[in-house]
Chains A and B, each alone.
Chain A
Amino acid sequence: MYFWKCWRDTRSFFVVFLMISALMMPIAAVVCVGTGLLENFGSEAFRSTFEIITLFVALALGALGASEHFAASTVHFLFTKPRSRAYFVWTGWVVGCAQLLAVDIVNLAAGAATLSHYGKNPFHSVLFGSVTASQLTAALVLGLCVYCLTYSLTFVLRNGLRGLGASMAIVFGVPFFAIAVRWRWKINFPIPAMPMERLSPLLSNFIWMLVALLFVFAAQLVVERAEI
Chain B
Amino acid sequence: MNVAAELTAVLQQTAFVSEKKTLYPSLTPSELVRFSRGFYPTWSDSSVDKYSRLLEIPMQQRFEKLSHGNQTKVWLLLALSQSADLLILDEPTTALDPISVDQLMHVLAEVALDRGCTIFFSSHQLEEVERIAEYAGFMDQGKLLLESRLDDIKNEFRLITAAGNSLPSQTSSQVLSVAAEGDFCRYFVTSDAAGFAAGLSRNGATVTDVAPLSLREIFLQLVQKEQ
Contacts and interface: CB of A to CB of B under 8 A. Distances in A.
B98 interface: no
A82 B22 contact: no
Contacts of B40: 82
Contacts of A82: 8-9, 11-12, 39-40
Given A4-B34, A5-B24, A81-B39, 8 more contacts: A1-B35, A68-B24, A72-B22, A76-B18, A76-B20, A77-B18, A80-B11, A80-B18
B186 to A, nearest CB: 44
Interface string A94-135: 000000000000000000000000000000000000000000
Interface string A156-175: 00000000000000000000
A137 interface: no
Contacts of A1: 34-39
A184 interface: no
25 contacts: A1-B34, A1-B35, A2-B35, A4-B35, A8-B27, A68-B24, A72-B25, A73-B20, A73-B22, A74-B23, A74-B24, A77-B22, A77-B23, A80-B11, A80-B14, A81-B11, A81-B36, A81-B39, A82-B8, A82-B9, A82-B11, A82-B39, A82-B40, A83-B39, A84-B7
Interface string B1-37: 0000001110110101010101111010000001111
Nearest to A3: B38
A72 B16 CA distance: 18
Interface string A1-15: 110110010000000
Nearest to B14: A80
Interface in B164-199: none
A76 B38 CA distance: 18
A104 B35 CA distance: 29
Interface residues on A, range: 10 to 19
Contacts, number: 45
Nearest to B82: A82
Nearest to A4: B35
6 closest A-B pairs by beta carbon, nearest first, are A1-B38, A82-B11, A82-B12, A80-B16, A81-B39, A73-B22
Nearest to A71: B25
Contacts of B9: 82
A169 to B, nearest CB: 29
Nearest to B31: A8
Contact of A84 (B8, B18, B35, B36): B8
Contacts of A76: 18, 20
Contacts of B24: 5, 68, 72, 74
Nearest to B12: A82
Interface in A181-217: none
Nearest to B40: A82
Most chain A CB neighbours (cut-off 10 Å) among B11, B34, B36, B37: B11
Nearest to A79: B11
Contacts of A84: 7-8
A77 B11 CA distance: 12
A74 B22 contact: yes
Q: Which of B9, B14, B35 has the most CB of A within 10 A?
A: B35
Contacts of B35: 1-2, 4-5
A132 to B, nearest CB: 43
Interface string B100-135: 000000000000000000000000000000000000
B33 to A, nearest CB: 10
Contacts of B18: 76-77, 80
Contacts of B38: 1
A67 B9 CA distance: 27
A8 B211 CA distance: 60
B217 to A, nearest CB: 34
B42 to A, nearest CB: 10
A205 B38 CA distance: 38
B226 to A, nearest CB: 27
A5 B23 CA distance: 13
